[in-house]
Amino acid sequence: MGFKFSKKWKEYLCIFLIPTIALVNSLVQFYISSTSSLVKWKGGGFGMYSAIHYTDRNIWIEFNTESNKYYLNPFNYVDIAPYLIYPNREALFKLTKEVLELDLRVQGNAITMQKNAPKIEPIKKINVYALDTSIILKDKKYHQEIITQEGFDIEQFHSHKN
């Protein structure tokens, strides 16, 4: 004959033990992600409790032309907040389409909106990177974790209908 819990013990078990285990698990995940190179969203599924969501994210767009690569952080030119919440392919496509409607000009290897700068040469391919910009110490160097990386051919924007 096996051991049986009384109804009162089962009630205490559900009320106290299960939430305590979940709390301890989330605290361990928070501690490990804060003191090691473990990304907050991996290793325990408690990323929503151990990471500040989209405020620690950033987006960079890489424009590839025939002869050069140019980089743009669209933060200064468009509202990127809606795209940071869930940076999937569709969201990054919409953001890139919005950026392509701007008057893109070149300054060094960066994109600018300054009117006296030369216009960008024809774009062939675009890579978009959504990054977790919270500082992570890994091998004594700071780095940004890539959340999503998407590549688009420029023809996709010409053929895409709203």
For position 41, what pLDDT does the model report? 61
Which one is predicted more confidently, 13 or 67? 67
Task: Say if residue 157's pLDDT is above 80.
Answer: no
Q: What's the pLDDT at 43? A: 59
| pLDDT at res. 15 | 83
pLDDT, residue 37, reads 61
Q: Which residue has the higher pLDDT, 147 or 61?
A: 61
Structure tokens that stand for 136 in this block: 């992570």
CA distance 123 to 151: 13
- Strand 57-65 relative to strand 110-112, pairing: unpaired
Count the Cβ atoms, other than its own, within 10 Å of residue 58: 19
123 bridge partner residues: 65
Question: Per residue in 87-122, pLDDT tens?
Answer: 788 888 899 888 888 888 888 888 888 888 888 888
pLDDT of residue 74: 86
Average pLDDT over residues 15-30: 83
What pLDDT does 49 receive?
54
Q: What is the pTM of this model?
A: 0.60
